[in-house]
Structure 1
């Protein structure tokens, strides 16, 4: 029988044994398991085993192929190799957190999942590229789904937070950052806090508008929501071909030549979680300054951040 003709786990197991050139009894000896168990696997009486990873490693095949006949993880997930690597790293990070929270030892994980101890050791060190079967065994251990374990949690992206008054007075003061709970499309998002510098009634004191300073009047689409400075106040409006229509009840319309465009509005944050920049290294603070300078070119840098 050819490899591609193997339709069941039993057929794949027997094919791999033949290719390896060893008997079921010899494999049982190497794996320190009962030969009767392997005999049931070869006859199809046992269709699933927690030792699938051990058996696959011993027979030089992948666990996915041995159990499911899958030649490539991507055939099941549709992900690219890079996506699979990222998903694996996310999975391992969450697994390590769950193992730590449950205070499980490597021996306990081995007993509960059947995963080889050397695989568990590599997982705990963050150096292992998970197979699908290994991931499913760990999902069973923690009673969770594969989707929950590989999805990347939103948030965690810190962006500069500056006050509206600093925008108006051209002061670069990257003293605070905020964490956004979505994955930004732009690398240079900035949060601007309403500290009384905003006109209109649509934002309360302390609310934050997140803008993309790389999108200005010349590359902004008609109908985009934008943040701009006019008459020493910050306003939000809709961009039209030659003018900005304020969202302040649409009463005010400004010619583009009259306003100072800050950028395209990406998000409104009503209750932002913020922190100071004392935890940041020099390079990170320099990146904050570079980002803010996209809004305030040639602005005055606050001395303590120089």
Structure 2
């Protein structure tokens, strides 16, 4: 297989001042991409500010690459618009967007304030919406775009104390699914990365010896594939410690109950059949579920479909 390169491509990477984002930026830059390093410069919980974005941009330039820094807050549409305009005025285009910026405010749901819930959802989910919206029309007009969301097993499977984070991360999978459909005919491919890596966010959670295996570089290898020229679309790629897998949402074939049997008791009685994996499918859009249920009902009543 030929080497994956990004020569002539311009990438915006949010939250790129530290950890995974920095690793993403360095890898894409080393393979020819021109990078907008975005970072507010804050701490893990989103407070404070610093020079993280400029530090990484300078690191890229020192290695012979091209990069500019921007400290846009991803939850502020005007600041994000300025960032995108700066990228276009500098290099004429934006080809790649990596929505990586995030914060943590972990607490059990009973102890979590509305403010802590909203803050995390605003950065992860709404921040990705705002950044994607800012480049979407530009990518449509150029008939090319590669967008990566950053999801998490905390959203896909759940993790104690992270209801805010989990809700945002699963929301990004839904956003990816819809934008994949809407971007198809415009050459825009949208994927999600579900990373596991040793970053500031994992400090104190994982034994030191295990942390050494969880390099950010191994995750960035997966990210680069998701935004490459020949990238897939609508893939949730899981990556960590050198392991790579895909999370896919399947729906069981299920059952049909005629009207006189549509009771909660009959649903309970048939739950084993409802959740049976035999015949389960990987759907491409929500209407497929509707058609499945209608087809089963139509067969019962002898109604022809189509």
What range is the shorter-chain TM-score in? Answer: under 0.3
Which of the two has greater strand per residue? 1
Q: TM-score, normalised by structure 1?
A: 0.23
Q: Would you tell me which structure has more helix in proportion to its own residues? A: 2
Q: Which has the larger radius of gyration?
A: 1
Q: TM-score, normalised by structure 2?
A: 0.23
